[in-house]
Amino acid sequence: MHAAFFLLLGASLARYLLRHPWESRSPWIIGLSVALAVLYTVGPVFGPHATPRRLVRLLTVVAVWVVLVVLAPSFAWCAVPLLYTGLRALPTRAALALVALLTVFVVAAQLQLAEGGFDPNLVLAPPAVAAIATAVFVHAERLAARQRVLIDDLVRTRRDLAATERREGTLAERQRLSMEIHDTLAQGLSSQQMLLQAADRTWNSDPAAARGHVRTAESIAERSLAEARRFVHDLTPADLAEGGSLPEALRALAERETTDALTVRFHLDGTPVPLPDRIQSALLRIAQGALANVREHADATAATLTLSFLGDQVVLDIADDGRGFEPGTGRAPGVRGHGLPAIRARAEQLGGTLTIESAPGEGTVLSAAIPLESP
């Protein structure tokens, strides 16, 4: 549009000089043309927002153009770029008033230049063109305003979504840490407490047994310390971090959990296949949590860990001969804690399922099935 203005201004000046080689008003025409070009360049063409200074410059440009049209009607067509400049820089009502003023001068100039009598097109065409141009511009501005609103909403929505994802990630990480602490440090501390209480009760009557309880508590404390250090590093279970496979880690877990009151055995079914680290970690944590529940709540004398590789999935079964409970309640009567919910959450996070078979007095079987191609 700016290029069109200078092109029309130059063409109008050239037309005037060709039609009027030189006359008394020619210096004024040339001087006003140069002044109009300078004012248009440094005036309202830069910046779409109406400010007092820009409004003054725009009115100055229009005033110079009006004088030019009075002196030389051929400069009337410079009104088209001025029309768009006014629509862009002024509020809607002020811009419409400017359009009307420009249109009046264009019609007057065309009538003055007309040859051969009155021509209705010279009166009707400029207002029609001005009306169409104004309508198109106003409609485009409204569409642009709506688009800006939509873009702002989209940016705000993306910002809110990112904040929500960060919050959900934080909550998920907290839940994961809660389960890790419950299945390792908390269970280790609980076992140490029970062993030390047993040692205290038998300290005088059976010193050898008491010392055995203390040594076992010391071993558990050592494992808990290793887990705590592993938390600081990368939260990988210590048994797996030491380079062992999942079957080896479960076998070592069964040996550690075996006491005089509870015998834990491990059984491997099928041909082992390499498992992703997150599946190995989750199954080991599930076994630790389940055995902790057996030790603290089931009053069992025997438990079995069975790891089965079934082609498209790996299944971990934890069975005990304890007192059992109603599976619908989610935990044994009187038991409080996060054991079963944490175990179920671990299985579901890997796209797996947790099945519980139990009845009062009949023991319990927990079965965690994880697909080998989890989502």
Q: Is 286 within a domain? A: yes
Candidates 271, 263, 223; CA nearest to 247 is 271
Q: Is 208 within a domain? A: no
Q: Do 298 and 364 contact (CB within 8 A), yes or no?
A: yes
pLDDT band at 328 (very low <50, low <70, confident <90, very high): low
Q: Rounded to whole angstroms, how far apart are CA atoms 349 and 374?
A: 9
What is the crossing angle of helices 79-89 and 92-113, to 10°?
170
Percent of the chain, pLDDT > 90? 15
DSSP 182: I
Residue at a domain's end among 118, 143, 160: 118
Residue at a domain's end among 100, 118, 136: 118
Residue at a domain's end among 97, 118, 139: 118
Whole-Å CA distances, 311 to 251, 316, 370: 21, 14, 11
Q: Please give the residue range of the domain that contains residue 68.
A: 2-118
Candidates 9, 16, 61; CA nearest to 40 is 61
pLDDT in tens, 221-235: 887 777 777 665 555
Antiparallel, parallel or unpaired: β 364-371 and 313-320? antiparallel
Average pLDDT over residues 8-30: 84
Q: Is 102 within a domain? A: yes
pLDDT over threshold 60, residue 207: yes
Q: Rounded to whole angstroms, how far apart are CA atoms 331 and 373?
A: 30
CATH of residue 310's domain is 3.30.565.10
> What is the domain count for the chain?
2
pLDDT over threshold 80, residue 70: yes
Q: Rounded to whole angstroms, how far apart are CA atoms 351 and 79?
A: 70
Q: Is 81 left (phi over 0), alpha (psi -120 to 50) or beta?
A: alpha
pLDDT band at 132 (very low <50, low <70, confident <90, very high): confident
H-helix or E-strand spanning residue 280? helix 277-293
Q: Do 90 and 98 contact (CB within 8 A), yes or no?
A: yes
More confident residue, 209 or 20: 209
Q: Is 44 within a domain? A: yes
Average pLDDT over residues 129-147: 87
Average pLDDT over residues 356-369: 91
Q: Is 235 within a domain? A: no
Q: Is 235 exposed, middle or buried (0-12, 13-18, 19+ CB in 10 A)?
A: middle
Q: Is 216 within a domain? A: no
Distance, C-alpha 77 to centroid of its chain: 53
Q: Is 305 within a domain? A: yes
Q: Is 30 within a domain? A: yes
pLDDT at 329: 57
More confident residue, 250 or 23: 250
pLDDT at 62: 84
Can you point out the beta strands (E) in the chain? 263-269, 302-309, 313-320, 353-358, 364-371
Q: Do 183 and 342 contact (CB within 8 A), yes or no?
A: yes
Q: Rounded to whole angstroms, how far apart are CA atoms 22 and 217?
A: 115
